Structure 1
Amino acid sequence: MSELVFEQVSVRYGTRRGGLTAVDGVSLTVPPGQVVGLVGESGSGKSTLARSAVGLAPVSAGRVLLDGIDVRQLAGRRPLQMVFQDPYSSLDPRMRIGASISEAMPRGGGADARRAEVARLLELVNLDPDRAGMLPAQLSGGQRQRVALARALAGQPKVVIADEITSALDVSVQGAVLNLVRDVRRSLGLSMLFISHNLAVVRYLSDIIAVMYLGRIVEAGPAEQVLSDPQHPYTRDLLSAAPAWNTPLFEDGDAAGVSDAEPSDPHHPPAGCRYHPRCALGPLARPDRDVCLTTDPAQDAERRPHRSACHFAGEPRPALPKGARA
């Protein structure tokens, strides 16, 4: 089991004047043998953070450490693999399934040994080894995502990063893929960073949950604690907006979910707390709370429960009048 650590990681694109800081000083730890679920709206920087770990996004500042070693210093194949969101584009359409999996294996071993390993990996992800001779177009979306997982495991990783791996699949096959991921991770003792915008999925798989907004982690802690007692208003809004079959995942009186306000422009994030233009605990509801406009709450987040980047973490959200909208 291995530990993956993001240490004050920033990822910036473009020039100093016209660039975009997609990830801004993120510190996050994936403990050995555990699953960290990373959630947030589209554009929050989740996938960019993941790509920085596997060398697909430039790390402008900070470090990504695998068992204490900067991943940029690892020679040869990194013991860190990523499963991408879209199974239709993550596989070469002209390469047969067995060849795609074999390509990811470490060098060495004869052809028979490699074929046997391909068959073992296909069985591990609940696919018939006879499918090794098929092309991706001959498989369903769920089967392709299983192949993508088998290919990631072929690299003999210590840590796996799964980026929205069920979002492109039909609901009918999402559960099967999630059960497979959970079983494979447990049987192999892998550490995992699991990225999703679906809170039900994150709750099902994760030991720890981290919430990301505009390039920063705004709350992180044990999954059940974060979901049952969220400290940051953005986490509360996400939970209020989450669909549920029977009862809401999080109940908060008459409060509405995520406000109608659009997220701030990531090219020009607001001063102070980045969430204050949408927050029901800040100046929108309490004009006297101008600290949210001027002081970044991330500076002393470590002293608050769940490392919440909020000056008023844990305060109940005020109920709105009947019929009112946030």
Structure 2
Amino acid sequence: MSELRFEGVSVRFGTGSRALTAVDGVDLTVPSGQVVGLVGESGSGKSTLARAAVGLTEPSSGRILLEGVPLKHRAGQRRPLQMVFQDPYSSLDPRMTVGDSIAESVPRSVGNGRRRGQHRGRREEVARLLELVGLDADRALAYPGALSGGQRQRVAIARALAGKPDVIIADEITSALDVSIQGTVLNLVRELQRELHLSMLFISHNLAVVRYVSDFIAVMYLGRIVEFGPARDVLGNPQHPYTKELLAAAPRRGTTALQPPDPALRVVADAEPADPHHPPAGCRFHPRCPIGPLVRTDREHCLTTDPTTEAQHRLHSTACHHAAGALQTVELSQ
């Protein structure tokens, strides 16, 4: 178990007028042994933040720390963060058996130091990991093409666990799967996290998925965290209008309509999303906000004043001028 912390992390791509700041000054903590669900629509910067954490993208500014020590990714060294990717069909090498793919991530120290002992030890570790994710050990001899999408994602999870990471980052790991098997993968993730006491950043655009596995929820919009707090508090008393939109759009048991029931929330659905290359001044959500200047002409300050500067003084650290003003300290351990 280890704490993962982002401090003022920004990631920029390109230069000039078409430059894109995909992640903009993000402060976020994944507490030791806890799951933080990071939710937001496509293009909000979730996956870019994840890729920066595991060293696939270089941050333009800010720091990423593990247990208070800046992360340094060097070739040949153990990777303390492991990532499970969205697409189980492209994340596994089709020319390698399942066992070889997993064994590739098993630390060289497994075994008794001799080549034969190491080979036996790695084979036993692969079998253990396959059984841990609910697959028969004989699947080690199969190729990815012989597995279903759900089975491939289980193999990807086993491969991530093989490296004995301090933190797991799961990036939209159910979105490419059939609805019928998404639940079984989510159950597996929740069981493994509890059994192994993993620290985890769980990324999804689906708030219904995030609420199922998370201890804390962070909501991301146009590269910034706009609300963060314990999952029960954020879901039970959302402060940011964007969080409310995500909740309104999440399918609920016994309902089929996805249209927001509140007429004011339909403003969000009708408004055009902002251009991420040229984010709006002031509050970035104001062009789509059902309580902002789009519907309230007396709230012109949303057009010019950035609400993130005072977010720490609001409930759930909400980046909204009209969120609750009372400060509530978020406990990062339960």
Same fold (TM over 0.5): yes
1:304 pairs with one of 309, 314, 333:
314
CA deviation after TM superposition for structure 1 residue 253, in Å: 5.1
Partner residue of 1:177? 185
Partner residue of 2:286? 276
Q: With structure 1 as the length reference, what TM-score do the two structures score? A: 0.93
CA deviation after TM superposition for structure 1 residue 259, in Å: 2.5
What SS does the corresponding residue of 1:256 show, helix, strand or coil?
helix
Partner residue of 2:269? 259
Partner Cα distance (2:24, 2:265) in 1: 29
Q: Deviations over 1:91-112 (max 9, x none)?
A: 0000000000000111233100
Q: Deviations over 1:70-109 (max 9, x none)?
A: 1126781221100000000000000000000000111233
Q: Deviations over 1:48-78 (max 9, x none)?
A: 0011000111100001101111112678122
Partner Cα distance (1:92, 1:81) in 2: 17
Partner Cα distance (1:230, 1:91) in 2: 38
Q: With structure 2 as the length reference, what TM-score do the two structures score? A: 0.91
Q: Gaps spanning 5+ residues in structure 1: where?
A: 316-326
Q: Deviations over 1:157-182 (max 9, x none)?
A: 11100000000001111111111111
- Matched pairs, number: 315
Partner residue of 1:204? 212
What SS does the corresponding residue of 1:33 show, helix, strand or coil?
coil
Partner residue of 1:138? 146
Q: Gaps spanning 5+ residues in structure 2: where?
A: 112-117, 326-334
Q: Is the Cα–Cα contact under 8 Å of residues 232 and 314 in structure 1 kept in the other structure?
A: no
Q: Deviations over 1:288-317 (max 9, x none)?
A: 2111011000001000000000001149xx
Partner Cα distance (2:186, 2:47) in 1: 19
Q: Is the Cα–Cα contact under 8 Å of residues 301 and 307 in structure 1 kept in the other structure?
A: yes
Partner Cα distance (2:25, 2:79) in 1: 23
CA deviation after TM superposition for structure 1 residue 238, in Å: 1.1
Partner Cα distance (2:9, 2:284) in 1: 18
Q: Is the Cα–Cα contact under 8 Å of residues 13 and 20 in structure 1 kept in the other structure?
A: yes
**Is 1:41 aligned to residue 41 of structure 2?**
yes
CA deviation after TM superposition for structure 1 residue 260, in Å: 1.3
What SS does the corresponding residue of 2:18 show, helix, strand or coil?
coil
Partner Cα distance (1:29, 1:170) in 2: 31
Q: 5 Å matches for 1:9-20?
A: 9-20=9-20
Partner Cα distance (1:314, 1:232) in 2: 9
Partner residue of 1:104? 105
CA deviation after TM superposition for structure 1 residue 17, in Å: 3.9
Identity percentage of aligned residues = 70
**Is 1:70 aligned to residue 80 of structure 2?**
no
Partner residue of 2:301? 291
Q: Is the Cα–Cα contact under 8 Å of residues 71 and 78 in structure 1 kept in the other structure?
A: no
Q: Is the Cα–Cα contact under 8 Å of residues 82 and 169 in structure 2 kept in the other structure?
A: yes
Partner Cα distance (1:151, 1:16) in 2: 40
Partner Cα distance (1:245, 1:183) in 2: 23
Q: Is the Cα–Cα contact under 8 Å of residues 23 and 224 in structure 2 kept in the other structure?
A: yes
Partner residue of 1:323? none
What SS does the corresponding residue of 1:23 show, helix, strand or coil?
strand
Q: 5 Å matches for 1:237-248?
A: 237-246=245-254
Partner residue of 2:27? 27
What SS does the corresponding residue of 1:72 show, helix, strand or coil?
coil
Partner Cα distance (2:144, 2:198) in 1: 26
Q: Deviations over 1:108-127 (max 9, x none)?
A: 33100000000000000010
What is the identity, as a one-letter code, of the residue corresponding to 2:25?
A: G
Q: Is the Cα–Cα contact under 8 Å of residues 263 and 278 in structure 1 kept in the other structure?
A: yes
Q: Deviations over 1:190-221 (max 9, x none)?
A: 10000011111111100000000000000000
Q: CA RMSD in A?
A: 1.8
1:164 pairs with one of 169, 172, 189:
172
1:229 pairs with one of 237, 240, 258:
237
Partner residue of 1:319? none
Partner Cα distance (2:207, 2:100) in 1: 35
Partner residue of 2:92? 91
CA deviation after TM superposition for structure 1 residue 18, in Å: 2.7
What is the identity, as a one-letter code, of the residue corresponding to 1:162?
A: A
Q: Is the Cα–Cα contact under 8 Å of residues 220 and 306 in structure 1 kept in the other structure?
A: yes
Partner Cα distance (1:262, 1:37) in 2: 26
Partner Cα distance (2:14, 2:299) in 1: 34
Partner Cα distance (1:3, 1:218) in 2: 21
Partner residue of 2:323? 313
What SS does the corresponding residue of 2:190 show, helix, strand or coil?
helix
Partner Cα distance (1:41, 1:224) in 2: 21
Q: 5 Å matches for 1:148-163?
A: 148-163=156-171
Partner residue of 1:55? 55
Partner Cα distance (1:122, 1:46) in 2: 29
